Homo-oligomer: A and B are copies of this chain.
Amino acid sequence: MSKHFQLFTPPGETPRRGVITTPHGQIMTPAFGPDATRGVIKHLSPEEITHLSGTLTQGETLSAEHLREQNELQFLLTNTFHLRSYPGDEYIRQMGGIHQFMQWNRPVLTDSGGFQVFSLIHNSANLKGSVDNDGAHFTNPRDGAPLILTPENAIDIQWNLGSDIMVVLDDCRHYQDEAELVASVERTIAWAERCKQRFEQHLAKRGLGWESTVRPLLFCVVQGGIDKTLRKHCAEALIQIGFDGYGFGGWAITEKEFFPDEVMQFVAKLLPADAPRYAMGVGTPDDMLRCMQYGYDLFDCVLPTRNARHGVCYSSDGVVRITNAKYKHDTSVLDKIITSRAAHYPRYYLHHLFKIKDSLGGRLLSIHNLAYYNALMKQPFG
């Protein structure tokens, strides 16, 4: 039984409830974390992301239960690749780490850059890099200099950032590339092992061991496309190495054509009950509700904030496309049921803000969509 995850639900039963313990506090699962790619959730202040509802007292020490009850954010994501690119992980370490840097004192999950291996290399129209067994070779979009991610430096970077939940570097491929999947799975397993070794070196340097209860967590990523044999092989090899949590990788929100329900169910059943399961990049409200039924515990996605910036709001009475002409005269508030700093705004004013292209519109909808996503995490439990 992991010292970092406690499962409240009987093993085998879904949806699951549990609690993850990190250096910056607990996360009651299921839980959703938004993307603060470069150390900010676009347009939102630390005050807003710390108190989405606007009803909490600032500075109050809040339990995970309380945060969950109030539809507050329990954790967020920052991005290894983009922070490496700018302003630099070593710089953030000097500034006191990502929590101090962006003034957020709850858990931070850092992705590994594995998704950028997919989006900037494998899935890019203009080949912007290459992958070999050593690592992934990018061009820094900021200054054109080489930017290399290896299993080892991906872990070093995440330690520099001061992450609470680190993710191993993986070789994330597109489903269609079946021929390359075998190699990508073997590479993902080999890289995961190298990441864990490097992670343990960091622990040792700090006088900690894997059994420490105060260390950051290390998650791995199961790859294998829609090939169940490969997924099973990958999952079993990763379980053999041993991690704090298991991600389902290789699916991207940009994949509009299908959602890998069957493979996700299949993989979830292979994973240890006593470790959190992370549905990476998932998703829409419906996707998340289904994944909870499959036994997944953690979610992250750009959708609630990106959609907000495009005027799409999740409200308790359905999706509101606020730029729609009918909202110009709608004097009702954004949401009568789900509380947030934005819920009480009249829809006509939100409509106006989008029509005049003021960032306040996207900001208010971002706040509300995040509160909605958090509320959704409680839904299966009544």
List chain A positions with a Cβ less than 8 A from chain B.
38-40, 42-45, 47, 54, 86-87, 91, 94-95, 101-103, 328-329, 331, 341, 345, 348-349, 352-353, 355-356, 358-360, 363-364
Contact = CB atoms under 8 A, between A and B. Distances in A.
B359 A359 contact: yes
Count identical subunits in the complex: 2
A255 B353 CA distance: 31
B348 A40 contact: no
Given A47-B341, A331-B95, A364-B45, A87 B40 contact: no
Given A87-B328, A95-B331, A355-B86, A45 B360 contact: yes
B44 A360 contact: yes
Contacts of A40: 352-353, 356, 358, 360
Given A87-B328, A95-B331, A331-B95, A43 B359 contact: yes
A359 B103 CA distance: 17
17 contacts: A38-B352, A38-B356, A40-B353, A40-B360, A42-B358, A42-B359, A42-B360, A43-B43, A43-B358, A44-B360, A45-B360, A86-B355, A87-B328, A91-B328, A95-B329, A101-B348, A359-B359
Contacts of A348: 95, 101
Contacts of A39: 349, 352, 356
Given A43-B360, A45-B364, A102 B349 contact: yes
Nearest to A345: B103
